[in-house]
Structure 1
């Protein structure tokens, strides 16, 4: 108890315990089923607070979780009986240097803060596609967004990190300073410490873009797949699409094609003319302020439900994934549990820029065909409902090509709670030839595996 009192005295932020009236609020997460009953929640105010929290947790042998946006349904940002380092209350701001075209983003910020701060200066960065996603988790795991066709991944646009490591050191990591840590943290996830600040490149951005959803009836499935076959190999840097197989609000099967074009409505409608010619029964695409684009898909990922998701790989030919037979099978699996709402999200972000960057720039795969995400949502957080969600997810994901998909779409953390843990085969498959190099970095900065909530790397 004396150790806790000492920690609280030195700590500038807020320490919340199970006896506090705000405890349940402090545990809040995007996915209700990701909530864990932590022993301590430490709302940090700066990097020094992070170092104090790490020191205290290690002294009293509490496992650590890092909470940025709290958007992991796998529970990566929560920990049962442990200590949560929560950056979301105080470290959530973004500051732009318009001359250098850089944005300084605190580790607990959401992408909405980045989008809104940058566009005030006619600039934008690569971010996620749901604006209440946390910057931190997405950024250290890779990071795809609407700007990826033009500018690559989030990790390709990261120029500096401030990281608090397991021994409490507050380090600056960039190409010249602690460059090994900089390399490892851009794709290696939260394995090496707590990032309290990101510095990202920004790019000139027009104020309005053409974007929005087009809804097609199920009988248009084959035509939409044929359009994707023709468009996808030639997709331009300013384009991108997310295609969703789902049931609409009235229970009717629909194909929701969300289009993005970084230009005018006139040019956007020309670029997707063949898609519009198929005849959507709802067309809500139009010019909108750039900073609003990442909020349009938020209804697919509302805060406060139970969620489970799993990534999958896209086929090289889109119609292999989107065709009448596959669509009917997916709908059958979706309907197998009426208490659960499911959707299959196919992400078509042009990969030319991503794959043009040298493979060893960061520990991240440059040969992915593209990402699919199977998402299940439900209301009652019971063990039975959770198990059903997993069964539905795995059955749907099995429809897609085999292989290790995008790490940020992992259905579980592949966490390893002790130093005696055996590395997950999925983790080895995720990092492939980079795994031994990551092991060496882990040994240098976190030999006792203090950080072990996401695709845990075992020290060399």
Structure 2
């Protein structure tokens, strides 16, 4: 095996090994239960550093992972005994060109960086709804946001990317250069290389928006669901909401996070029917745009353990939401987990005008539902959390009569990589040596990508025939 000093000499960035005092910080992730004991972490400064890291991993037959924001409930950005390329320390800059309305964003940047820099120019793009999420994973896997009603998905607004591929090439991907690679990265995830820079289309944006939380007691569920059903049928381009079922101060509640791209007066008029339902708290107000994507931050802080599971629901359903409320109360009372179920009512009309074949991401979208289980202590509770999440998903799908997809939004699916169940395979919290591709990884990818899977296989064969990149819905080359 090559000495790590060879890697140190080959890169301009920082190389961290388990002997370094900063190693624990280097492998820390948003979800503590996804941390892995890497052999080496490389904080890259340039695409050439990424090339050197890839070649080192391949020469030494080491597994490889890429960390942008590290904000994922699966081990996509961590790897046991392997090489991690970390873009977050140096490759995190944001440059806005107001003449072209384009944003040049490093692969290690966070959405907070993009939101704050772009709005200085009165601009914005479709980004994540939690601003400490990295741009990389969200952009490669789809990307819903508050501005989706106007501009579609995040992938619909990626105009170009710089990609380091498995053979060490540094390629520009856009409609003119390497168009097959450009197609693949817009929804095909991290299967084709390391994206060191994204170029996003930016749009004029109000400096302030109407947004915030309104809290309701469980007895208001039927009113909320009936109103939501009618509202969502004719949803406007400048409105969206997230409905959260959770437990606060020991009591199950329904929380509406409202968004309207306008003034408080406009927003309150727009949501008057919802606000007329009796509620126990109203925190919706006019806020600076750059604060919008921070509103959920406190509920998903770094350093806890998390398990996420995605599903979807074609039509809002009061009976299943009430059952979810009851389940949340039971789980919270047991004391092991803090449960939250998010019903994401983004305006999907623009995103659904894009043809299925235009990107790998499947359209025909219906609202996503995200089950989140958070806890503070033993990472081994991940297996228990997975079982509880399955119970939530079964409740959500109970009245959908076959309209729900078999697999949810791919960025909400944590169990693509790992042991037979996608999770740890030993009881030793520091022993990940048995981690491996789930036996059914190919079947999961087929479900995720649907009719686009065969073309993705062809692109995979061109750019990564040896399955070097395999941490997120791995695609079998063909």
TM range, normalised to the smaller chain? Answer: over 0.9
C-alpha contact (below 8 Å) 1:119/1:207 kept by paired residues: yes
- Paired with 1:299 and 1:78, the residues of 2 have a C-alpha distance of 24
Q: Which runs of 5+ in 1 are unaligned?
A: none
Name 1:412's counterpart in structure 2: 415
What secondary structure does 1:55 align onto? helix
Instruction: State how far apart, in whole Å, the 2-side matches of 1:6 and 1:274 are.
Output: 65
C-alpha distance 178-376 of structure 1, shift in aligned 2 (>3 A): same
Match of 1:195 in 2: 195
Aligned to 1:72: 72
SS of the residue corresponding to residue 96 of structure 1 reads strand
Deviation per CA, 1:441-460: give whole Å up to 9, x if none: 10110001110000000100
Per-residue Cα deviation, 1:82-112 (whole angstroms, up to 9, x for no partner): 1101001101111000110000000000000
Corresponding residue of 2:205: 205
Separation in 1, partners of 2:243, 2:268: 17
**Counterpart position of 1:433:** 451
| Secondary structure in structure 1 of the residue aligned to 2:187 | coil
Provide the residue aligned with 1:369 in structure 2: 366
Q: Which residue of the partner structure matches residue 263 of structure 1?
A: 262
> Are residues 1:386 and 2:382 paired?
yes
- 1:2 Cα deviation after fit: 4.7
The answer for the alignment partner of 1:308 in structure 2 is 307
CA distance in 1, matches of 2:412, 2:438: 26
Matches within 5 A, 1:49-448: 49-248=49-248, 250-314=249-313, 316-320=314-318, 323-324=321-322, 326-335=323-332, 337-383=334-380, 385-401=381-397, 402=404, 403-414=406-417, 423-448=441-466
Give 2:426's aligned residue. none
Task: Report the Cα offset of residue 386 of structure 1.
Answer: 2.0
Q: 1:75, 1:413 within 8 Å by CA — same for their partners in 2? A: no
- Asked if the contact 1:415–1:452 (Cα under 8 Å) also holds between the matched residues in 2, the reply is no
**CA shift at 1:3, angstroms?**
4.0
Q: For 1:202-240, what per-residue CA distance to the aligned partner results, in whole angstroms no more than 9, with x for missing partners?
A: 010010000000001111111111110111111101000
Change (3 A) 1:431 1:207: same
SS in 2 for 1:85: strand
Secondary structure (helix, strand or coil) at the match of 1:139 reads helix
Of 57-66 and 362-371, deviating more is 362-371
The 3 A distance-change label for structure 1 pair 180 and 421 is: farther
Contact 1:374 1:393 in 2 (8 A): yes
Instruction: Give the TM-score normalised by the residue count of structure 2.
Output: 0.92
Q: Distance in 1 between matches of 2:28 and 2:438?
A: 31
Q: Equivalents in 1 of 2:70, 2:126: separation in Å?
A: 20
Report the CA distance shift for 1:366/1:34 in structure 2 as closer, same or farther (over 3 A): same
Q: Which residue of 1 aligns with 2:432?
A: none
Q: Mark the CA change 1:418 to 1:25 in structure 2 (over 3 Å): closer, same or farther.
A: closer
Q: Is the 8 A contact 1:148 1:354 kept in 2?
A: yes
Note the 1:13-52 alignment, pairs <5 A.
13-52=13-52
Residue pair 1:333, 1:396 contacting (<8 A) in 2 also: no
* Per-residue Cα deviation, 1:99-140 (whole angstroms, up to 9, x for no partner): 100000000000000000100000000000000000000000
Change (3 A) 1:423 1:218: closer
User: How many pairs are equivalent?
Assistant: 456
Q: Is the 8 A contact 1:13 1:44 kept in 2?
A: yes
| 1:400 match: secondary structure | helix
Distance 1:344 1:423, change over 3 A: closer
Task: Report the Cα distance in structure 2 between the residues aligned to 1:210 and 1:82, rounded to whole angstroms.
Answer: 45
Work out the CA distance in 1 between the residues paired with 2:183 and 2:107.
18
From the superposition, tell whether residues 420 and 239 of structure 1 become closer, same or farther in structure 2 (CA, over 3 Å): closer
Residues 89/321 of structure 1: CA separation in 2 closer, same or farther (3 Å cut):
farther
Alignment check: 8 A CA contact 1:244 1:343 kept: yes
Give the C-alpha shift of residue 319 in structure 1.
Answer: 2.7
Q: Gaps spanning 5+ residues in structure 2: where?
A: 398-403, 420-434
2:324–2:396: 8 Å Cα contact kept in structure 1?
A: no
Deviation at 1:387, TM superposition (A): 2.1
Distance 1:83 1:286 in 2: 46
- What is the CA distance between 1:350 and its match in structure 2? 0.8
SS at 2:334's partner residue? coil
Q: Deviations over 1:370-410 (max 9, x none)?
A: 10000000011242x22221121111111123421110000
SS in 1 for 2:317: helix
